[in-house]
Structure 1
């Protein structure tokens, strides 16, 4: 298995580990104005003023930063460093790294519990989820949860009670009880699930199945897959807005749009080279897509289904996780 930090070759295709988004569904402020984007090739985290379309802060983070998640108050960013390996904690008001916490294995996906503030980190190289807690001194490793093989994207229910983990090598999703820190269910899905996303009511989950070129739709009440949506090549992350699903198709350079009621594809939007992370604005009117190959953030109008702007980033933007504030 190659290192978690991806390498570029012909057309900037990824070799080895590819990254996906696991969203923690923390409510965004009404006036979301910044994107916190991991720029893996630059060993940095970009803070982007969305309205101005400019990088307002470039924060050095060694170790090929990949995943990102924000604290419930949106003032702290937690960033995975697969080549550290470890986690960086960034104070966003001061734009400074305040802690570098080493972790074993391959820290990849990351999410934050919206109620307790606990931070969950997927270890790509082992069948485990790290649980980190915040203290006055910073983050502290507080235990592990056994999950499936090659855990990737993570999602947490709004009530903080349940953690979902996409297990890429196992073709499953682990359902974890946050209180007991135990896996309660394992749900079969499509081939190589990476990104996992919950709807606002935590009734359905969506996994982007990388080698299946589709999205699995999971009914959480019955813990089973209830449908699939065909996508472009190498889907990685799903975002939800305006009654639709939006999926980054890495090898197609597109975003597949589907109707969440019928699960029928509705459109295919061309974006940049190798789109990866995607997230919806708080009002659901816009989607933001990190294009790893073209070093841009595409802005999509959720109603018109068109790209309205391209914002420049530093090298290799991934934005794997919850990155809007």
Structure 2
């Protein structure tokens, strides 16, 4: 039915495009319709198989079903626990990014958004019939829906818009949109419903601040204001999930810690990255402690999702980078932490209180608990795994969600990007420094850097289209950078099989439409800014950032002061998607585009613009 509706919309679009006195639908090739369907992911092709990509799960109140969002398949599957089978699939209009279930189990609230169509929608679905009763517009890259304890309010993270939507469930309308900090990826609501705890995935601020870290905020659900902001340990980033303990006293947030002050000469013992778990005290709204998930000789890269068993005995962690699940004695850890200081760099602290089991899925993104059983899905698997934590020997049983598909080179490259099995000791993956192929906001001292000088992490977007690569333009192209990255940052020798797949994935990356766009178009202010951008009598933007790549592929001296490196000229990066890549310049010393533009030496003409003209120019740049 969804394909039929999409087809009808495309036919209507074609009619509009071709509508004039001399032209009819006959001028539109029938093949165009199928090509558009394929490009939108609604029609399976040899080059674009329709994978499931299970990304999140929610358990029905009666514990009989698990609702699984199948991201690239654009559907929600209902997995029946008794039979270990998918008994129904519900189609949704865009990629589902999260699901919440009403306390009665009769309604599903599914957030939908994608990199192609980032404007968010909440689909209110009748759980019994599978029909969509209502669609509610929310923000950019909406995800992680959470219902208030009384079921009257739905909260949604608008990830790349840096906001949260408050939705009145009865009326189905957004009643408030409140500010988060930077990339709110996950949230949970306190047991009393008075506060949202929000994990901001990427650090805010400037990267020259070596204490930089992502933050957790407590948002008052009545006022929408931040009552408290908690910074995680220095170098923390990639907070992907929040889970409350069954009694509501603690919140658990998996994350990474980057040792940004150390040159990346080895990976052992978390020298570059460690993989951690923050424990928040919900009553005092404070960081209770932070513990290592790694062993001293083996990392567990990219902790992504957590779950507690209903009895509160076990806290379980699933990893996107390593195909294991860690089962932790929760009462034992909490007891051991009493009176202890910071444990974020202590590899042995929970060693005797945890067990690891192979998950049998690739790149786990979600884990839920029903009784003593854990259910785990991986975004690159067409299966779900089940682990009984009370069994004498922990093993995972695997059940099919759909038939296996042929893996394309692009899909293989994407899976490898998140795979720390490529890395010595499983300490990190490509995603660790480049979350979702974009920057982590931190400065890094790479092993081959000049004078051990830190440099800001760059986006992987358009690296193949904008050579040379890295800030100093040391490598001629992305082909070289991919292989050097494998050798230096994963510390293994690159093979053709791995490198070529990564090449294919990276060269096909597409920019995400900016949240500054209004219904997909430039705002009035941005339109004015666009005219200024191309007016060389008023600005000099196009000399270094000409369309269509918005870079001249050269190095320039923009006047940035770098105390660690005497080099004056640096890569002129593409400014496409720069709304997403703060902080700016090669050392991340500017938090905003405004600051970057006003850097002495950056531009000879911008200072002559009026404030209104300057603001309009900024709006255009942030709309690219």
Whether the TM-score (by the shorter chain) exceeds 0.5 is yes
Q: Post-superposition shift, 1:219?
A: 1.6
| 3-state secondary structure, aligned to 2:226 | strand
Once the two structures are superposed, residues 133-174 of structure 1 have per-residue CA deviations (whole angstroms, 9 ceiling, x without a partner) of 123xx4112221111111111111222211111110121111
Q: CA, structure 1 residues 216+322, in 2 after alignment: closer, same or farther (shift >3 Å)? A: farther
Residue aligned with 2:150, SS: coil
2:231 aligned partner: 230
Q: Deviations over 1:287-311 (max 9, x none)?
A: 1111121111212233333342112
| Equivalent in 257, 271, 275 of residue 279 of structure 2 | 257
1:136-147 matched pairs, under 5 angstroms: 138-147=129-138
By how many angstroms is 1:192 displaced?
A: 0.5
Aligned to 1:53: none
Superposed displacement of residue 181, structure 1: 0.7
Hey, what does 2:186 align to over in structure 1? 195
The answer to whether residue 239 in structure 2 is matched with residue 248 in structure 1 is no
CA distance in 2, matches of 1:204, 1:72: 23
Equivalent residue for 2:81, pick from 47, 67, 92: 92
Uncovered stretches (5+) of structure 1, i.e. residues with no partner: 1-60
Measure how far apart 1:101 and its partner are: 2.2
Distance (Å, rounded) in 1 between the aligned partners of 2:368 and 2:150: 17
Matched, 1:316 2:322: no
Q: Tell whether 2:186 aligns with 1:182.
A: no
| Normalised TM-score (structure 1) | 0.75
Pairwise mapping of residues 88-237 of structure 1 onto structure 2 (< 5 A)? 88-115=77-104, 117-124=106-113, 125-135=118-128, 138-212=129-203, 213-231=214-232, 232-237=236-241
SS of match in other structure, 1:235: coil
Q: Is the 8 A contact 2:190 2:282 kept in 1?
A: no
Higher relative contact order (CA 8 A, sep 6+): 1
Q: Quote the Cα distance in structure 1 between the aligned partners of 2:367 and 2:132.
A: 20
SS in 1 for 2:202: coil
**Could you say which structure has the larger radius of gyration?**
2
Normalized against structure 2, the TM-score is what? 0.40
Report deviation, 1:215.
1.1
Seen in structure 2, the aligned counterparts of structure 1 residues 113 and 292 have a Cα distance that, compared at 3 Å, is: same
Q: For 2:276 and 2:76, how far apart are their aligned partners in 1?
A: 30
Question: How many Å separate the matches in 2 of 1:178 and 1:318?
Answer: 31
Report deviation, 1:116: 5.2
The 3-state SS of whatever aligns with 1:169 is helix
- The question of whether the paired residues in 2 share the 8 Å contact of 1:67 and 1:318 is answered with no
The answer (yes or no) to whether the contact 1:207–1:237 under 8 Å persists in 2 is no
Counterpart contact for 1:192–1:211, Cα < 8 Å: yes
Q: CA deviation at 1:117?
A: 2.4
Alignment correspondent of 1:22: none
Is this contact kept in 2: 1:88–1:100, CA < 8 A? yes
1:319 Cα offset (Å): 4.6
User: CA–CA distance in 1 between the matches of 2:280 and 2:186?
Assistant: 16
Normalized per residue, the structure richer in helix is: 2
Shift of 1:210: 0.5
State the Cα distance separating 1:176 from its structure 2 match: 0.7
Gaps in structure 2 of 5+ consecutive residues: 1-49, 204-213, 258-273, 294-299, 334-349, 372-624
1:96 and 1:81 mapped to 2: Cα distance? 15
The 8 Å contact of residues 197 and 206 in structure 1, kept in 2 or not, is answered as yes
User: How far did residue 322 of structure 1 move?
Assistant: 5.0
> Deviation string for 1:77-110 (max 9, x for gaps)?
1111111121111111111111122222211111
Measured in 2, the distance between the counterparts of 1:178 and 1:319 equals 27
Question: CA deviation digits over 1:204-250, x for unaligned, max 9?
Answer: 11111111312111121322211122222211112223633211105
2:61 match:
72
Three-state SS of the structure 1 residue aligned to 2:242 is: strand
- SS state of the match for residue 103, structure 2? coil
TM-superposition CA deviations, 1:41-74 (whole Å, max 9, x none): xxxxxxxxxxxxxxxxxxxx95111111111111
- Contact residue 185 and residue 201 of structure 2 kept, 8 A: yes
Q: Give CA-to-partner distance per residue, 1:259-307, whole Å, 9 cap, x none.
A: 3333332322222221111122223343111112111121223333334
Q: 1:130 to 1:315 in 2, by over 3 A?
A: same
- Structure 2 CA distance, aligned partners of 1:185 and 1:103? 25
What residue number does 1:55 align with? none
2:293 is the counterpart of 1:293:
no
